């Protein structure tokens, strides 16, 4: 089941602007991961943030995690047309049941 909720469901911005997507979840987690999916393709892992971390960077990506609010955000800076994709968050509760995915945010970067 998909317990995570990303918002917005869809986001359209101009190239060069920053894009922020949020993810909320309900249970305690070991880590939270963000994935990207281009149309018709499989998921690609972007970044993993552990429950004891508050912020993590990778290139133009910045992820924050607030375990008290059970939420995370993914910021893509200086967006490019090639960033157009769907972005999913997934939580790992550390048990035997693997990841729980959100429904995703569809990001469109207008050239």
Contact footprint for another protein (CB under 8 A): 1-2, 30-31, 33, 35, 37, 39-45, 48, 86, 88, 90, 92, 96-99, 101, 103-104, 106
Cross-strand partners of 100: 91
- If the CB atoms of residues 76 and 88 are measured against another protein, the closer one turns out to be 88
- Smallest gap from Cβ 42 to another protein, in A, equals 4
- Smallest gap from Cβ 98 to another protein, in A, equals 4
- If the CB atoms of residues 30 and 110 are measured against another protein, the closer one turns out to be 30
- CA 6, CA 15: separation in Å to the nearest integer? 22
- Smallest gap from Cβ 6 to another protein, in A, equals 11
- Whether residue 87 contacts residue 25, with contact meaning beta carbons closer than 8 Å, is answered with no
Alpha-carbon distance values, 98 to 31, 44, 93, 94, 110 (Å): 11, 17, 8, 7, 35
């Amino acid at each position: 089941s998909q317990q995570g909720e990303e918002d917005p469901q869809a986001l359209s911005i101009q190239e060069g602007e920053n894009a922020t997507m949020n993810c909320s979840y309900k249970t305690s987690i070991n880590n939270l991961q963000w994935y990207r999916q281009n149309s018709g393709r499989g998921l690609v892992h972007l970044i993993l943030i552990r429950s004891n971390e508050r912020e993590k960077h990778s290139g133009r990506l910045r992820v924050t995690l607030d375990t008290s609010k059970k939420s995370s955000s993914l910021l893509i800076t200086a967006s490019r047309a090639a960033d157009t994709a769907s972005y999913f968050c997934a939580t790992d509760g550390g048990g035997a049941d693997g990841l729980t995915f959100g429904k995703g945010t569809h990001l469109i970067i207008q050239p």
